[in-house]
Structure 1
Amino acid sequence: MPHKTQIFQVSTLYGAATLAAALDAGLFGPRDGARRILLVSNNAAIPETALRLDEMHGYERISGRFDSVVGWNEAIRPHHPSAWGPRGNDVSLWQKAFRLAWGIGERDLIELAVESIQVNPARALAAIFSESALHVYADGLMSYGPTREKLPLTIARRIQRLLHLDLIPGLKPMLLSEFDVPPEVVPDGAFRAVLDEISHDAADDPRLAPVLREKPTAVLLGQYLAAINILSAEEEEDLHVRMLAGAARAGHRSVVFKPHPTAPAGYTAALSKAAADAGVRLTVLDAPLLAETLYHHCAPELVVGCFSTAMVTASAYYDVPIARVGTALVMERLKPYPNSNRVPLAVVDHLVPDLERGQTPALVDTVPETLSPLVRAIGFCMQPKTYADLREPTESWLRANLATGPGYYFPELRLTELGLPGSRPQLRAKLQVRRARRVVRRAVRRGAGKK
């Protein structure tokens, strides 16, 4: 009888923790039912200079759940994980090569657990191991948004389920719903237990000691939105300063800033000056550990961010009130409209109190009935061809809510492009002229090419 090998692809410690919780909860069968391989991918723009997964606290505890660990970057070098995929004629050769390199028998059955199936490296793995069953896991708020790329049926039909954390109770993930992929929740208790393991592993880190000594009551989360061209570096720097100012107005005098691992040092310098001016003690935690580890050891009274998933985990798993800053600005800057950050941003904007408007920080424990229709309407506007069945409910929702809801959820241009309520006739006429001109230009180019 053929043996079974399960390959678990990860690129972040948060994602690895999600998989570890799923394993502990028995969602991948008994421990002795298959050989388990952890496949680590570093998807940073320049992997050689980025923080590696094995440098983070808790990694060894998680990797101990697997029979072996292999590196995807090393396996496909000199290609980049986000850019490389096998050519169609080479798929069988790559599978043979990886089976040999990773000690997988020629007849062994393979199961894949991957993140972000729409893009590489998950797409590449699914193509190479073309007979494998697929399990997709989502490690954050993006599971609530639509599938951002059209999947070939040869991949979509093999997806068994979408594993996700129940970060927003009552909100059903939209990801992969067009293929009727069933969502399955990774149990809260199992995930929190894994986070506690990781936190205990970091207890002796000397960089944590100054933070504990200052007893911060508020945590500020950086995301480095400039890295993905949503904000400029100056705007993101100002966003962090606004977070600190909001925490200070709320009465917090000891604050810790958890920067994104790739954030430049200048961010913290500007924040330090703002803290000094506001009379706030600021501690910067620049260490290879999860924000959740900070919550575990510091027990803060407030977590402030823009739309980081770590904000929601503070509420969901640590009972820490949360508040947002800057979501309206970021929503207006997101380009193009189908940007996969749009739904996570809208969820936070809709549910989490705005610190700058004086709203009281709170837990996200009860989800209003208004959230799901909003998410579905945004999802349709992001991917109208994929979710064509949502056009009618989206039109109804827009007629009922567009006049009273935040305009930045549904820009006039996007509504006009899709012919939805809220369209402007004059703008529509201009768009039609532009489309006609593009058609003429293409026809002229084709004609010139045939001469």
Structure 2
Amino acid sequence: MTQIIEISTQYQLANLSALIRAGRLGEPQRRRILVVANNSVSPELTPAADAMPGSAGLLSDFDLVVDWNATIWPNHPKAFGISGERAPIMERALRREWDIAEAEPLELIVESLPSHPAGALTQIFATADISVHSDGLMSYGPIRNPLTLPQWQRLRAICYTDLLPGITPRQLAEHGPERVVLPAADLAKVIDDMTAEVADDLASANLDAPIESSALVLGQYLAQLDLITAEEELDLHLQMLDVVKDAGLSTVVFKPHPTSARTTIGPLRRRSEELGLDFVLADVPLLAEIVVSATRPELVVSCFSTGLATAKGLYGCATAAVGTTELLAALAPYQNSNRIPLTIIDALHSGRYALPGTLAEAGAGSGAPAGPGAPRDLNPLIDAVTYCMQSKSASYLRQKAIDFLDGAVGGPDMKYFKRKRLTALDLPGRLEMPRHRKTLSAAKQRLISQAKRTQHVLKDYGITVDTSKLRKNG
């Protein structure tokens, strides 16, 4: 059986190589084809995952590397789908191009379903078994749109790196797939190999050795996602510097997000000087995990980046989250796929759930440990948020959500929920209905509204509708 493995980011490539090297994807002699999709808005201007520094050594884990953008040109990977009539024709063409026998069984290992490019590959290879590989903290939450019947009938497994021991990703859990778990230490070995490969790039940026008394600040592109304004994002990054100062460290290593604007660098450099902190710019096209592996910071600071979880899970760094409370209040709609990563990072840096080595969120006051005692189990909170995000696909979690919310109403955990959402789902914590509306079902309300709207028209024909009787008699 040949495996067709689709990725769109270098972080995914590192995870897949780690899975292969750890023997989690079957026997070593199995033929593996890597399909690389460049999903950036302007793929002509952005290097694909296999062309980024640090990827060359990973490509040896695959028998063939395919440029998906070139295969479907001039279409964009995120927009390219295929009709049922054309799919068999393209499958025959790709099997011939990729040297796959016509009758040979296939296994697809793809990123998030059902969106493209993963969705397109499942359409083309319509009889292949399907496995899904995770992409950081996103995998701990539900998918936005349900799978098609042919997709979930062929779904076999979910492959993920165990960044949060004791927590199982909820992605596609409603279909009961097999869980293929990669220990964080196996991914760390791959990241270390990538770090050695890019030693010259790191040296040219003065990032090739551990930096004493340093904190790595990971920028995010929240303004570009319209989650906050550019001014609010700058203020968020300035708060991160305050956390570094309060932690008693002397050096800030700032790594901007690859797709973010660079307008924050100047203000951050000036603020660092005001605080008496050395400022090191890590504006390099490298994974944040590679920078962590090379510089070994004592603290990693961000908002809700997956980099916080990987820095702690792979290298044991202390971490701090900034601005998560404000983003929880602002994030909309409730189904936004960033909600689970945001919830997890906020919870792990709050007193009730905090892990050892996490610092309280900035704005809470200081860089002291987030909370005393052993952390609480995070699974019930994730179950409840997952159900509120996708109540249809996650209907199996309804009773768990009710049980959690029964004990959470009036407490600090209610910041993870919206009252209107709880009301729509008839869950504890919902808004109370006005007394005069409590006895009427939604169907009755619609009937009364329709009758009122037609009253004026009916009067022209001498017909009167008494809505009070409708209300009285139900």
TM-score, length of structure 1 as denominator length = 0.90
Query: Are 1:85 and 2:73 counterparts?
Result: no
Counterpart Cα distance in 2 of 1:372 and 1:403: 20
Match of 2:156? 160
The equivalences for 1:282-297 within 5 A come to 282-297=279-294
User: Once the 2 structures are TM-superposed, how far is the Cα of residue 227 of structure 1 from its aligned partner?
Assistant: 2.3
Residue 148 of structure 1 aligns to a residue in which SS?
coil
1:386 equivalent in alignment to 2:393: yes
CA distance in 2, matches of 1:84, 1:148: 19
Q: 2:27 aligns with which of 27, 30, 33?
A: 30
Counterpart of 2:368?
A: 360
Equivalent of 2:382 in 367, 371, 375: 375
Q: Percent identity?
A: 38
What TM-score do you get using the length of structure 2 for normalisation? 0.86
Judge conservation of contact 2:37–2:48 (CA < 8 Å) in 1: no
The CA distance in 2 between the partners of 1:55 and 1:248, in whole Å, is: 37
Equivalenced residue count is: 434
2:418 equivalent to 1:421: no
- Alpha-carbon separation, structure 2, partners of 1:120 and 1:267: 33
| 2:64 is equivalent to residue 58 of structure 1 | no
Counterpart Cα distance in 2 of 1:233 and 1:427: 40
In structure 2, the residue matched to 1:114 is: 110
Shift in Å, 1:119? 1.1
* Superposed displacement of residue 393, structure 1: 2.2
2:323, 2:123 → 1: CA distance?
Answer: 40
1:12 alignment partner, one of 9, 13, 32:
9
Q: 1 CA distance for matches of 2:108 and 2:178?
A: 16
Letter in 1 for 2:127: E
- Where does residue 449 of structure 1 map in the other structure? none
Q: Which amino acid aligns with 2:125?
A: F
Name the SS for the 1:316 alignment partner.
Answer: helix
Residues 266-316 of structure 1 show CA distances to partners (whole Å, capped at 9, x for unaligned) of: 021221122122221111111111111112221111001111111111111
Shift of the 427–207 alpha-carbon distance from structure 1 to 2, 3 Å rule, reads: farther
SS at 2:412 equivalent: coil
C-alpha contact 1:207 1:287 (8 A) present in aligned 2: no
Secondary structure, aligned partner of 1:225:
coil
Q: Deviations over 1:358-380 (max 9, x none)?
A: 253589x97522x1110000000
Aligned counterparts of 2:180 and 2:296: Cα–Cα separation in 1: 30
**1:48-447 aligned within 5 A:** 48-205=44-201, 206-209=203-206, 212=209, 215=212, 217-352=214-349, 353-356=359-362, 357=364, 358-360=366-368, 368-369=376-377, 371-426=378-433, 436=446
Please list the CA deviations of residues 320-341 of structure 1 after superposition, one character each: whole Å capped at 9, or x if unmatched.
Answer: 1111101112212222111111
User: RMSD between aligned alpha carbons?
Assistant: 2.6
Secondary structure of the corresponding residue to residue 408 of structure 1: helix
Task: Tell me how far 1:211 sits from its aligned partner.
Answer: 7.2
Deviations 1:228-280 (A, max 9, x none): 22122222122111111211122222110111101111021221122122221
Q: Within 2, Cα distance between the matches of 1:387 and 1:311?
A: 27
Distance in 2 of aligned mates of 1:325 and 1:427: 39
Q: Structure 1 residues 255-264 or 227-236, which shifts more?
A: 227-236
- Following superposition, the deviation at residue 347 of structure 1 comes to 0.9
Answer with 385-394 or 158-167: which moved more.
385-394
Shift in Å at residue 27 of structure 1? 1.7
Contact 2:302 2:321 in 1 (8 A): yes
Unpaired runs of 5+ in structure 2?
A: 350-358, 455-474
Distance 1:427 1:62 in 2: 61
Cα offsets for 1:150-201 (capped at 9, x unmatched): 0112111211111111111111111111001122211333212111101111
Deviation, 1:5, is: 1.9
Alpha-carbon spacing, 1:259–1:147, altered in 2? closer, same or farther (3 Å) = same
Map of 1:447 onto structure 2: none
C-alpha distance in 2, partners of 1:37/1:211?
33
Separation (CA, whole Å) in 1 of partners of 2:136 and 2:36: 18
Distance between the aligned counterparts of 1:427 and 1:241, measured in 2?
A: 45
Query: Counterpart in 2 of 1:448?
Result: none
Report the CA distance between 1:130 and its aligned residue: 0.7
Please list every run of at least 4 consecutive aligned residues from structure 1 whose deviation after the TM superposition is greater than 4 angstroms. Answer: 210-216, 426-433
Of structures 1 and 2, the one scoring higher in RCO (CA 8 A, sep 6+) is: 1
Structure 1: gaps (5+ residues): 445-451
Larger radius of gyration: 2
SS of 1:317 mapped into structure 2:
helix
What letter is aligned with 2:417? F
CA contact (8 A) 1:355 1:361 kept: no
